[in-house]
């Protein structure tokens, strides 16, 4: 089902719930040209009863941990099973083009590159972008970059702040050096965290046009998801930002927390926002230990990484209340004034 030539590649796919696109996702990976994919399917709690048959048909190895390990734990567990020189993440609702993984491997093989991120398209209209690499806001938010844009606007390779976990490739030695995902994140913001630590380690995150991955994307907002998104945003900031950066951003970060609590309360997930704060307070030992390790392993300063941060949200992705434009302008002006102190 695959070419006999080409580098070996461990590809992890997670299964949870009914997974209507899983067959197509695994079949597409198995049929990839120019690489030799070894698929590991991690059953994180799917309701399907045909995984053994599906794996036999696509050549995938099935792991059944017996509980939901989350995205972070599931990926870590799946990639620990292999030893191929390259590793890939592919969502269970994402369909890779025949040459997508080979294109990503070719870029990931470049010594200065840490993560090669795919050309992620919307399944409803594959001429339209889902993600061309994800921006990172200075306050720790991230979103699908280029969402809704014509793909023709993103036809050139470029460095991006964060890759998309829907389809990306790393060298295994990079993955292992970075120690994979922090499993405490469980889900959401883990691709952002890994990407930022890649930059901190002196490697680049590269968007690869033409490495097309068609994604059945739907961004739902529900309390459990918003809890993880907001909690993990704070964990990302608290563990990866340098001390001086945190000091310079303390006032905007505190103001944003108050604003987010207000928004969360109005939208019905205020308890989840508070729950995120509570989790962090109860796990301060882990947060401190994680921060010490991350800061001890970095080789690139926040001053050098500052051009990767943005100060304005994309209103197409993150709807903002009236008057938010003034606040964004104030934050941008403040950041321009203080970033020289990094």
The CATH number given to whatever domain includes residue 115 is: 3.90.550.60
- Cβ-contact 95, 109 below 8 angstroms: no
- Which of 191, 215, 239 delimits the end of a domain? 215
> Do 43 and 169 reside in the same domain of the chain?
yes
Q: Which residue has the tokens 């509570």?
A: 278
Domain contains 2: no
> Do 256 and 333 reside in the same domain of the chain?
yes
Half-sphere exposure of 17 (CA within 13 A, CB side): 6
> Do 228 and 203 reside in the same domain of the chain?
no
Domain contains 275: yes
> Do 28 and 173 reside in the same domain of the chain?
yes
CA distances from 271 to 123, 138, 223 (A): 34, 25, 9
Domain contains 323: yes
Task: Give the number of residues written for the chain.
Answer: 342
- Cβ-contact 35, 90 below 8 angstroms: no
In total, how many domains does the chain have? 2
- Which of 215, 243, 278 delimits the end of a domain? 215
| Torsional sign, CA 287, 292, 298, 299 | positive
Domain contains 1: no
- Cβ-contact 112, 159 below 8 angstroms: no
- Which of 215, 233, 267 delimits the end of a domain? 215
> Do 71 and 131 reside in the same domain of the chain?
yes
Residue 173 has a pLDDT of: 98
CB neighbour class for 26 (10 Å; exposed up to 12, middle 13-18, buried from 19): buried
pTM above 0.85, yes or no: yes
Measured distance CA(249)–CA(309) in Å, rounded: 13
> Do 189 and 259 reside in the same domain of the chain?
no
Domain contains 327: yes
97: left (phi over 0), alpha (psi -120 to 50) or beta: beta
Domain contains 120: yes
> Do 106 and 47 reside in the same domain of the chain?
yes
> Do 277 and 146 reside in the same domain of the chain?
no
> Do 188 and 52 reside in the same domain of the chain?
yes
- Cβ-contact 120, 151 below 8 angstroms: no
Sites in the chain below the pLDDT cut of 70 = 1-4, 315-323
> Do 142 and 177 reside in the same domain of the chain?
yes
- Cβ-contact 215, 166 below 8 angstroms: yes
> Do 118 and 232 reside in the same domain of the chain?
no
For 73-185, strand residue ranges (E) read 86-90, 94-96, 113-122, 125-131, 136-137, 158-159, 167-171
Q: What is the DSSP string of 153-183?
A: GG-S-EE-SB--TTEEEEEHHHHHHTTS--G
Nearest to 103 by CA among 19, 212, 180: 212
Residue 172 has a pLDDT of: 98
Residue 221 has a pLDDT of: 78
Domain contains 3: no
Domain contains 20: yes
CB atoms near residue 72 (< 10 Å): 22
CB neighbour class for 255 (10 Å; exposed up to 12, middle 13-18, buried from 19): middle
> Do 267 and 335 reside in the same domain of the chain?
yes
Helix, strand, coil share (%) of the chain residues, nearest 5:
45, 20, 30
Residue 1 has a pLDDT of: 46
> Kind of pairing, strands 125-131 and 113-122?
antiparallel
Structural domain of residue 254, as residue ranges? Answer: 223-341
């Amino acid at each position: 089902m695959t070419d006999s030539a080409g580098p070996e590649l461990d590809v992890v796919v997670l299964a949870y719930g009914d997974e209507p696109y899983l067959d197509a996702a695994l079949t597409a990976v198995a049929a990839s040209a120019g690489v030799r994919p070894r698929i590991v399917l991690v059953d994180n709690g799917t309701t399907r009863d045909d995984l053994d048959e599906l794996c036999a048909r696509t050549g995938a190895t099935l792991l059944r941990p017996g509980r939901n390990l989350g995205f972070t734990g599931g990926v870590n567990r799946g990639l620990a099973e292999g030893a191929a020189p390259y590793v890939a993440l592919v969502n269970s609702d994402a369909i890779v083009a025949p040459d997508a993984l080979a294109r990503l491997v070719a870029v990931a093989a470049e010594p200065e590159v840490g993560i090669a991120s795919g050309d992620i398209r919307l399944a409803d209209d594959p001429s339209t972008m889902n993600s061309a690499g994800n921006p990172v806001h200075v306050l720790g938010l991230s979103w699908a970059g280029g969402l809704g844009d014509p793909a023709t606007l993103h036809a050139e390779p470029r460095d991006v702040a964060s890759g998309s976990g829907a389809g990306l490739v790393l060298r295994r030695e990079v993955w292992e050096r970075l120690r994979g995902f922090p499993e405490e994140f469980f889900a959401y913001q883990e691709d952002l965290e890994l990407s930022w630590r890649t930059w901190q380690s002196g490697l680049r995150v590269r968007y690869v046009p033409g490495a097309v991955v068609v994604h059945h994307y739907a961004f739902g907002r529900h309390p459990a998801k918003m809890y993880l998104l907001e909690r993990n945003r704070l964990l990302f900031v608290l563990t990866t930002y340098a001390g001086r950066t945190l000091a310079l951003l303390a006032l905007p970060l505190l103001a944003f927390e108050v604003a987010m609590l207000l928004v969360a309360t109005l939208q019905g997930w205020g308890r989840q926002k508070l729950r995120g704060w509570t989790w962090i307070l109860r796990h301060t030992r882990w947060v401190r230990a994680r921060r010490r390790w991350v800061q001890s392993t970095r080789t690139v300063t926040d001053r050098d990484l500052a051009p990767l941060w943005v100060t304005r949200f994309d209103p197409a992705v993150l709807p903002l209340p009236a008057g938010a434009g003034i606040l964004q302008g104030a934050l941008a002006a403040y950041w321009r004034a203080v970033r020289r102190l990094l």
